[in-house]
């Protein structure tokens, strides 16, 4: 009888160990279920650190920018705020920190962000802060410009593009999308008078991805933040030049609000949008994060973070199987941590 109990115990232990490995252990998760962050985590931005660990940041929560950590892009742990408690930027009175964008620039982790209040489209601003670690603390926070100073209404949603050794900043929300060059260290706007409009008034939450000679301008359209009534969706256009023109499949320009719809809501997920950088896994598969409301809780838990595979067809990206958020899928291929 003791032998039976011993064999049973060993079998249970082995099964338990295998289950842990398949759900985010050393070999990474085998499958995942959306949302991967099942709480309010809007406007995600994600980076992979030198040791292979992933870090995600989102719009302000509890007075700070939350940081999440993951070994496999699927299982995420909240580790705290990006800014020290006494170092949270206060560039806009009563303003929140929205839509951060994480980057590795000249050996530093640089977090760009916008600060605004609802309706404060001329007082909002874009800033940045710097850290030696993706876990922070991010310090040396500086405001780069305010809307009224640069003449671009609703200057929020910054994203950095590094291309050919040069750095650029794109930004904007429903008042046009603009791009300008940064200084060599990526920490300042090079010339506030030299800005170019690259997309029209339908868009916000942009991100630019370069692939096979094209620049892809991902963006969000519609109402972002109205729970079950949200109409937010993700769209895309492409260009041979970083400065445009970005066009849809018919060659119509995004400056005239033409685009291809990439992912839209359904009866399970409302308002999928404001996507992150594209992250490539260890089998060269592309992935993207974005936020959305879940109908299962009637959107009461806020905009949660979703993960989906990006596939490419005739030079255009596709997210999900049918243009809607994926419920479950095979997880990203992630090897053990880098040395």
Q: Is 124 in contact with 181 (CB distance < 8 Å)?
A: no
What distance in Å separates the CA atoms of residue 30 and residue 48, rounded to the nearest whole number? 19
DSSP per residue, 129-193: EEESSTT---EEEEEEEEHHHHT-SS----EEEEETTEEEEEE-BSS-EEEEEBPTTSSSBS-TT
User: Who has greater pLDDT, 295 or 7?
Assistant: 295
Residue 85 covered by a domain:
yes
What distance in Å separates the CA atoms of residue 241 and residue 291, rounded to the nearest whole number? 28
Tokens of 185: 């260290």
Q: Give per-residue pLDDT as tens, 138-171.
A: 999 999 999 999 999 999 999 999 999 999 999 9
Residue 27 covered by a domain:
no
Q: Which of 204, 233, 286, 308 is catalytic?
A: 204
Residue 17 covered by a domain:
no
Q: Which domain holds residue 175?
A: 34-330
Q: Classify each residue of 186-207 as buried b or exposed e, where b means 16 or more C-beta atoms within 10 Å of its C-beta.
A: bbebeeeeebeebbbbbbbbbb
DSSP per residue, 39-102: S---S-EEEE-TTS-EEEE-S-BTTB-EEEEESSSSS-EEEEESS-GGG---SSTT-EEEEEEE
Q: Give per-residue pLDDT as tens, 273-313.
A: 999 999 999 999 999 999 999 999 999 999 999 999 999 99
Beta bridge partners of 309: 287
pLDDT at residue 65 tops 60:
yes
pTM score of the predicted model: 0.90
How many independent structural domains does the chain possess? Answer: 1
DSSP per residue, 79-96: EEESS-GGG---SSTT-E
Q: What is the mean pLDDT of the chain?
A: 92
18-27, 112-121, 177-186, 272-281: which range is least confident on average?
A: 18-27
User: Who has greater pLDDT, 31 or 16?
Assistant: 31
Banded model confidence at residue 320, pLDDT cuts 50, 70, 90: confident
Tokens of 125: 């601003």
Q: What average pLDDT does this structure show over 235-261?
A: 98
Residue 140 covered by a domain:
yes
pLDDT at residue 337 tops 70:
no
pLDDT at residue 2 tops 80:
no
pLDDT at residue 125 tops 90:
yes
Beta bridge partners of 178: 171, 197
CATH number at residue 156: 2.115.10.20
What distance in Å separates the CA atoms of residue 216 and residue 208, rounded to the nearest whole number? 5
Tokens of 292: 């959305």
Q: Which of 43, 121, 275, 286 is catalytic?
A: 43
Whole-number percent of the chain with pLDDT over 90: 89
Q: Give per-residue pLDDT as tens, 95-121.
A: 999 999 999 999 999 999 999 999 999
Let me know if 43 is a catalytic residue: yes
Let me know if 184 is a catalytic residue: no
Stretch (H or E) spanning 8? helix 2-22
Predicted local confidence at residue 10, as pLDDT: 36
Banded model confidence at residue 324, pLDDT cuts 50, 70, 90: very high
Tokens of 106: 């000249």
Tokens of 259: 């685009």
Banded model confidence at residue 321, pLDDT cuts 50, 70, 90: confident
Q: Identify the burial level of 64 via C-beta atoms within 10 angstroms of its C-beta, where 0-12 means exposed, 13-18 middle and 19 or more buried.
A: middle
Residues in the chain: 339
What distance in Å separates the CA atoms of residue 59 and residue 113, rounded to the nearest whole number? 9
């Amino acid at each position: 009888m003791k032998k039976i109990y011993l064999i049973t115990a060993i079998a249970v232990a082995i099964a338990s160990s295998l289950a842990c490995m398949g759900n985010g252990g050393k070999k990474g998760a085998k499958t995942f279920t959306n949302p991967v962050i099942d709480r309010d985590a809007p406007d995600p931005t994600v980076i992979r650190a030198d040791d292979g660990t992933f870090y995600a940041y989102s719009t302000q929560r509890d007075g700070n920018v939350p940081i999440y950590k993951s070994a496999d892009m699927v299982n995420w742990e909240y580790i705290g705020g990006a800014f020290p408690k006494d170092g949270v930027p206060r560039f806009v009175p009563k303003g929140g920190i929205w839509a951060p964008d994480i980057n590795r620039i000249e050996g530093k982790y640089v977090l760009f962000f916008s600060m605004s209040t609802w309706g404060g489209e001329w007082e909002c601003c874009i800033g940045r802060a710097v850290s030696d670690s993706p876990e922070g603390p991010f310090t040396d926070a500086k405001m780069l410009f305010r809307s009224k100073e640069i003449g671009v209404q609703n200057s929020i949603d910054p994203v950095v593009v590094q291309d050919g050794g040069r750095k650029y900043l794109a930004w904007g929300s429903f008042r046009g999308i603009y791009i300008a060059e940064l200084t060599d260290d990526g920490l300042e706007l090079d010339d506030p008078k030299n800005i170019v409009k690259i997309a029209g008034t339908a868009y916000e939450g942009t991100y630019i991805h370069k692939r096979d000679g094209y620049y892809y301008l991902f963006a969000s359209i519609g109402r972002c933040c109205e729970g079950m009534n949200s109409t937010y969706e993700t769209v895309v256009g492409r260009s041979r030049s970083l400065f445009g023109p970005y066009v849809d499949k018919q060659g119509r320009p995004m400056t005239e609000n033409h685009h291809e719809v990439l992912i839209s809501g359904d009866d399970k997920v409302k308002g999928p949008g404001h996507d992150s950088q594209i992250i490539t896994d260890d089998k060269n598969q592309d992935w993207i994060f974005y936020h959305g409301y879940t109908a299962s809780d009637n959107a009461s838990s806020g905009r949660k973070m979703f993960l989906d595979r990006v596939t490419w067809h005739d030079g255009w990206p596709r997210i999900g199987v049918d243009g809607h958020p994926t419920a479950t899928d095979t997880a990203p291929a992630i090897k053990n941590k880098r040395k």
